[in-house]
Amino acid sequence: MSKNIKLTSIVLIVLFSFFVLLKGLDKSNTYSPELSTTKINFNFKAKDLFSDDEFFLDDLIKNDEMSLINIWASWCLPCRDEHVYLLNLKSQYKLNIVGINYKDSEINAKKFLKELGNPYTNIITDPKGINSIELGAFGVPETFLIDNNSKLIIKKFIGPLDDSTFNQLTKLIK
């Protein structure tokens, strides 16, 4: 009798472990940044790309209902691909787009904008990458849609914008 109980419990434990591990295989092991907070720190000062003035990010997103913060760099190839979407957002939806120029040289950044166009209302620089970490970013390119009143992230896009994320963005803006 006691032998039977032992055998049954071993089989049950093995079966349980098997199904737990099997279920675990389906789960993606990559970290989902969606889980992190929607709060953002706007209260830091950074230098403007085109002048020596320093701005608080907070002051750059006050005027409109929503703003887009885009982290970019001239050395980042995917940033080139997504640039056309940013230009579209600016021309079609008159969105306030604040650029954060990540670990870039000033000359290259200006060349990049001259070549591809400038969709940004303001651009602040982040030569050490600290400001992007303050925003909770992972790297370039990265885009945050911000509600200016509540100061919360409505949506975070990690990686370059494409047709699908552009559609998502336009639906949220409308």
Partner 1 sequence: MKILKTFCILLIFFLFFQNYSSANSSQQVDKISKNLRCLICQGQSVYDSQSDFALSMKTLIKKKIDEGKNDDEIYDFLISKYGEWIVYEPKFRKNTIFLWLLPILVFFVGGLIIFKKTKFFKL
The three-class DSSP label of residue 165 is: helix
Judged by CB under 8 A, the stretch of 50-58, 64-72, 90-98, 123-131 that binds partner 1 is 123-131
Binding residues for partner 1, total number by CB under 8 A: 17
User: What CA–CA distances, in Å, run from 22 to 14, 18, 31?
Assistant: 12, 6, 19
| Shorter beta-carbon distance to partner 1: residue 6 or 94 | 6
Q: Which residues 37-96 are close enough to bind partner 1 by CB under 8 A?
A: 37, 39
Residue 159 makes contact with partner 1 by CB under 8 A = no
134 touches partner 1 by CB under 8 A: yes
Rounded to the nearest 5°, which phi and psi values hold at 156? -115, 130
Q: What mask of x and - would describe binding to partner 1 in positions 100 to 119, judged by CB under 8 A?
A: ---x----------------
Kindly state whether residue 129 participates in binding partner 1, applying the rule CB under 8 A. Answer: yes
Residue closer to partner 1 by CB (options 44, 166) is: 44
Closest CA to 144 of 43, 38, 49: 38
Q: Cα–Cα distance between 33 and 172 in angstroms, integer?
A: 20
CA-to-CA dists, residue 159 to 9, 118, 143, angstroms: 48, 19, 8
